[in-house]
Amino acid sequence: MSILNSNNFNQNISSPLSQFEVRDLLFIDLPILENLHFSITNIGFFLTIGTIFIIILNISSTNFNKLVSNE
């Protein structure tokens, strides 16, 4: 008996392209400023997380011109 049943996978996925759908995670409608629609989508969220991770990695690995002895 297999724990993973292929019928369970087919019920959850309605379309193969649904995994690439761009979704609004956070959106703000500002009707005062000429119907400004500001939103953070799923790809924007992941790009922001990746950029923050790279910046933190870069800052933590920089030596800031400190001298290291040979001994």
> Are 9 and 16 contacting, i.e. CB atoms less than 8 angstroms apart?
no
Report pLDDT for 48: 94
Average pLDDT, the chain: 78
pTM, 2 dp: 0.57
Q: Which of 4, 40, 35 is nearest to 23 (CA)?
A: 40
The domains of the chain are located at 22-61
Report pLDDT for 46: 92
Please tell me the distance from the alpha carbon of residue 41 to that of residue 66, in angstroms, as a whole number.
41
Q: In the chain, which residues have pLDDT < 50?
A: 1-2, 9
